[in-house]
Amino acid sequence: MLLQSSAVVDRIFSGIQPTGTPHLGNYLGAIQNWVRLQEESSSVLYSIMDMHSLTMPKEPSVLRQNILDTTAAILACGIDPKKCFLFRQSLVPEHAELAWILGCITNVPRLLRLPQWKMKCASQNNEGTVGLLTYPVLQAADILLYKSTRVPVGEDQVLHLELAQDIAQHFNKKYGEFFPMPKAILSTTKKIKSLRDPAMKMSKSDSQKLATVNVADSPEEIVLKFRKAVTDFTSEVTYDPESRPGVSNLVSIHAAVTGLSIKEVLQQAAGLDTARYKMVVAESVIQKFAPIRNEIKKLQEDKYHLIKVLEDGAEKAKELAAPIYQEIRRLVGFQ
């Protein structure tokens, strides 16, 4: 049994929505960071956020498969269940129960001001659901349920972490000091942009299939997507995100997959025109993803292993969450 201590434990929590096989931006911006963090901290939880995924319409059969594919992909990328708790969010019911308690101390105008609500609601013809409005409260519950102290987040989630901090402060003020303040771990990787529209971030939901490179793409698909990547009319390879976003996105990708600095990448690209440079970047991505792609295929052949990994992780997460949640129940007057 995991014992609850009054001392603050350094604990990392992060989650990923089950959208199937992750794309290049997910890998470089989040999963690669996860692999590093599991080596650095003794208490790390990574969750497949299946409850969050319901905020956008999904067929049940698609969601089931996406959960397995996402699990296979992050295991193939190097996440080790012996070094972290890897689990499915909905298998730990305390997430939803705590979200209700926290929702009761969170005001609606604060949620309505969040830019993701405005953007996603607009994409649903301004008929956004209650779940879409309140999922940042569930995010806060995801983090606070384990008394997490550090949270790897992308730039677009910083406001949601700030909401979690505010909710924690509000709870502490009302019921006494209980939750530590979770701090952001920001990715050092430049945000990866769409290959077809470098003004937008790379996304699974992009309607342009050539815009997004997936971790499990074949070498031929990767070459095609980089060959068709939008750049500009200047053939030289330079890094200037403001005036040359397309080429700069390629440079960022090249640096991130090779571990080189922007300066080192530009030195390598000296004398290349953008057409040839696209193929250099494509080859770097192919080399990076080849072993991952092979491992994903192997893992996908044994879905019962994937299910067991998530169930075992959920049991460990429940054991950690139970004493914390029981104390929350006591504090609010449920027992």
Proportion of the chain above pLDDT 70, given as a percent? 97
Q: And the tokens for 171? A: 């709870």
Which ranges of 145-272 does DSSP label H, i.e. alpha helix? Answer: 158-175, 219-227, 245-258, 262-269
pLDDT at 2: 43
Kindly name the residue from 191, 204, 316, 318 that is annotated as catalytic: 204
Provide the 3-class DSSP secondary structure of residue 257. helix
pLDDT at 117: 80
Measured in Å, how far apart are the chain's first and last C-alpha atoms? 22
Kindly name the residue from 83, 120, 191, 303 that is annotated as catalytic: 120
> One digit per residue, pLDDT tens: the chain, 335 residues?
344 445 789 999 999 999 999 999 999 989 999 999 999 999 999 999 999 999 888 899 999 999 999 999 999 999 999 999 999 999 999 999 999 999 999 999 999 998 888 777 776 666 788 999 999 999 999 999 999 999 998 877 889 999 999 999 999 999 999 999 999 998 878 789 999 999 999 988 888 999 999 999 999 999 999 999 999 999 999 999 999 999 999 999 999 999 999 999 999 999 999 999 999 999 999 999 999 999 999 999 999 999 999 999 999 999 999 999 999 999 999 98
Annotation marks residue 263 as catalytic: no
Q: Which helix (H) or strand (E) holds 325?
A: helix 303-332
Question: Which of these, 277, 221, 223, lies nearest to 247 by C-alpha position?
Answer: 277
**Amino acid type, 186:** L
Separation of alpha carbons 178 and 211, rounded Å: 45
Determine if residue 176 is left, alpha or beta; phi over 0 gives left, psi from -120 to 50 gives alpha, anything else beta: left
Q: And the tokens for 160? A: 């949601």
By the 8 A CB rule, do 134 and 99 touch? yes
Kindly name the residue from 201, 303, 316, 318 that is annotated as catalytic: 201
pLDDT at 115: 84
Separation of alpha carbons 140 and 317, rounded Å: 16
Complete DSSP assignment for 166-230: HHHHHHHHHH-S-S---EEEE--SPPPBPSS-TTSB--TT-S-GGG--BTT--HHHHHHHHHT--
Question: Which of these, 13, 20, 19, 72, lies nearest to 45 by C-alpha position?
Answer: 13
Separation of alpha carbons 122 and 115, rounded Å: 11
Annotation marks residue 118 as catalytic: no
Annotation marks residue 120 as catalytic: yes
**Amino acid type, 191:** K
Q: And the tokens for 140? A: 């806060």
**Amino acid type, 57:** P
Q: At what angle do helices 115-123 and 158-175 cross, to 10 degrees?
A: 120
Separation of alpha carbons 153 and 31, rounded Å: 11
pLDDT at 124: 67
Model's pTM, two decimal places? 0.91
